[in-house]
């Protein structure tokens, strides 16, 4: 009698492989439409929620720590700082006008403690530049900055530093939330268990219909879902074996016992040792 291999062991699947299997399962085999039609809506919803939680965790693991947006923001504020510093240095060294040369020297002196700011950590650089721009925009130094035609450049550099800090603060919040959330190692067993609950429910409906109800339409719908689900399990088994891992089953799960009726993988719920491989 047909059945989904609910006891399939996902132990040897990598995080991405295991997550993709469950994603494909709810999108292609044990779909929401199928589950609702069979009266398994609540069981399916629990499975889908577990898959979604795992997807969110997996994707958050992939996008941190340094995102392209954060890196771009840091590069922009570095450029703003270099522009102001280099112009001040140029006036201090090469200005022909004595007033401009003196203003350049004074501004360069203010910038001196921040020279290596761009080589500091994100938070330290933010602090250094915030202090610098506060000094450059202070009324006591505003005339010198204006003499060097840097008023707008300083304002733009400060805005770039402030924008980066806003991104950094948001990133810190996300990291804190991530640290407080469940990890892939914790989520994987929950998703696998939710899959087994749904698979066993489908198997029970198929068995009851085959022995008692004998509804041909129901048998076709359940049988199709079982075949699709087992097909995905076979595919995962092949992926694991292709990279040299031990599949869930001890024999080739692709051989049908009856050519006229697709069957499920043979004993793909074997005891696979080890722990899930990390990405």
The pLDDT value given to residue 55: 85
The pLDDT value given to residue 257: 32
Give the DSSP letter of residue 114.
G
The pLDDT value given to residue 171: 76
Q: Which helix (H) or strand (E) holds 174?
A: helix 151-180
Best CA proximity match to 88, nearest among 114, 67, 60, 69:
114
Q: What percent of the chain has pLDDT over 90?
A: 65
The pLDDT value given to residue 254: 36
Cis bond before residue 65 (omega within 30° of 0): yes
Claim: this prediction has a pTM higher than 0.75 = no
The pLDDT value given to residue 271: 37
Residue segments in the chain with a per-residue pLDDT below the cut of 50:
65, 180, 249-279
The pLDDT value given to residue 177: 58
The pLDDT value given to residue 70: 86
Q: What Å distances lie between residue 205 and 67, 138, 269, CA to CA? A: 47, 77, 21
Distance of alpha carbon 188 from alpha carbon 16, whole angstroms? 11
């Amino acid at each position: 009698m047909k059945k989904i291999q609910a006891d399939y062991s996902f132990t040897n699947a990598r995080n991405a492989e295991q997550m993709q299997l469950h994603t494909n399962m709810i999108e292609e085999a044990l779909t929401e439409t199928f589950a609702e039609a069979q009266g398994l809506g609540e069981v399916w919803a629990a499975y889908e929620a577990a898959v979604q939680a795992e997807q969110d965790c997996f994707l958050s693991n992939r996008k941190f720590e340094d995102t392209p947006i954060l890196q771009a923001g840091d590069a922009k504020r570095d450029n703003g700082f270099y522009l102001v510093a280099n112009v001040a240095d140029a006036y201090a060294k090469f200005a022909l006008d004595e007033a401009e040369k003196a203003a350049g020297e004074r501004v360069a002196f203010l910038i001196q403690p921040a020279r290596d700011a761009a080589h500091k950590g994100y938070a330290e650089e933010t602090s250094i530049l915030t202090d610098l721009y506060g000094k450059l925009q202070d009324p006591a130094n505003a005339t010198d900055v204006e003499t060097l035609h840097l008023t707008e450049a300083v304002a733009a550099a400060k805005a770039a530093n402030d924008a980066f800090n806003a991104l950094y603060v948001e990133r810190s919040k996300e990291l804190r939330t991530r640290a407080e959330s469940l990890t892939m190692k914790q989520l994987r067993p929950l998703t696998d268990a939710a899959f087994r609950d749904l698979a066993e429910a489908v198997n029970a409906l198929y068995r009851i219909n085959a022995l008692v109800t004998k509804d041909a339409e129901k048998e076709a719908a359940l049988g199709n879902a079982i075949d699709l689900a087992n097909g995905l399990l076979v595919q995962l088994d092949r992926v694991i074996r292709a990279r040299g891992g031990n599949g869930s089953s001890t024999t080739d799960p692709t051989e049908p016992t009856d050519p006229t009726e697709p069957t499920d993988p043979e004993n793909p719920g074997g005891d696979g040792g080890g722990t899930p491989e990390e990405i």
